[in-house]
Structure 1
């Protein structure tokens, strides 16, 4: 219980809880920039990753999903961090089934999708943590999952592990149309940022941009850019 309270204190759905705040507006700016980057072809699948752990990728993923949902888009949020999943706790969704059940063909996609308390957002949680995350994510079933999800949702957003830590983010990015890289101001080293960018450039996806997280705006606020 202590861990869950601590987790919720660190990760907040600011775009939902405080939609008029400066932070919420920054998430809407990110949403707008993504839409401008996909004028020729609408982005239907998006992967969010970071260079290293602790740079705010999950918070960014969740709040970005809220920003799109508030515009009326139907969102499927997928917890593809099969090593340290937390989206089900952030959205307070109690489910035992998830992505790993679908990829291992134990359950159908529709059986594993859960509704959240936020309109237009459905969650596909991680499911049981597997011994072979990268292999599962690169399976043919992942392509089938995307094809099925695109029939029912306007945008599928994947939260993935840090791209420099494991190969999972690369694997998912290879199957998505766009990617967002999250960095933390004053924490992510320049060399790490460049390496993470190059890793994503070597996938089949388009790196749409970088979110600089934790940049001081003033004495009282912190901004997401």
Structure 2
């Protein structure tokens, strides 16, 4: 996979381990997540995946970014969309301009959507969030998002949506009904069980297909193997 842009802006805490350490235990775990997602949807079309969490800081952007890289490594044409219009990170991680993005398109400020989509690696494209709008939930609930996802899935193999956390705002619940499946990231020893259950109930209420949960921040040394799994600050 050829690097086309500078990785990881210093302000970003997201680690693209699948690029910087392709033989690491963390990368192997990302591959396992990818495989399990594929098994979860055997016999069913999977063109759009949303990655979210119950609260902020559980690692959903780290998982979505690394998943996008791994799917692209397999030769799929992948678009990673930063739909976290309130606290975006994808533009920093992949070193792309955030002047135009999803919010620009949804608010009608962009004539050509291609101006908001950046090729970053072979087979991998990134759509940043764009400028922070005053009405994120309303934009995400618009018909323009539905139309965009419909067109994107016709041209690409997979769209991965990095969504805001479920509990603080309604954005993720709005997005959940627009995608084929949702992955919930849960950070060990960080989020309360009640919050996780509330997030699951909210996603089910939005009638999304919950593909499963990713337990993040696990110290694998406890099990006598490896150097730890995502024991860094993540978004």
TM-score by length of 2: 0.89
Note if 1:221 corresponds to 2:227: yes
Residue 112 of structure 1 aligns with which residue? 116
Structure 1: 4+ residue segments shifted above 6 A:
none
Tell me, which stretches of 5 or more residues in structure 2 are unaligned? 1-8, 231-235
SS of 1:25's partner is helix
Count matched residues: 218
Which of 191, 204, 214 is matched with 1:211 structurally? Answer: 214
For normalisation by structure 1, the TM-score amounts to: 0.93
Match for 2:133 among 130, 133, 137?
Answer: 130
- For 2:10 and 2:126, the matched residues in 1 are separated by 21
Q: Does 1:81 align with 2:81?
A: no
Q: For 1:91-106, list aligned pairs within 5 A.
A: 91-106=94-109
**Contact 2:98 2:131 (C-alpha < 8 Å) held by counterparts:** no
Describe the shift of the 1:189–1:95 C-alpha distance in structure 2 as closer, same or farther (beyond 3 A). Answer: closer
Cα 1:38–1:24, aligned 2, differ >3 Å: closer, same or farther? Answer: same
Alignment of structure 1 residues 28-67 onto 2, 5 Å: 28-67=31-70
Structure 1: stretches of 5+ with no match in the other structure: none
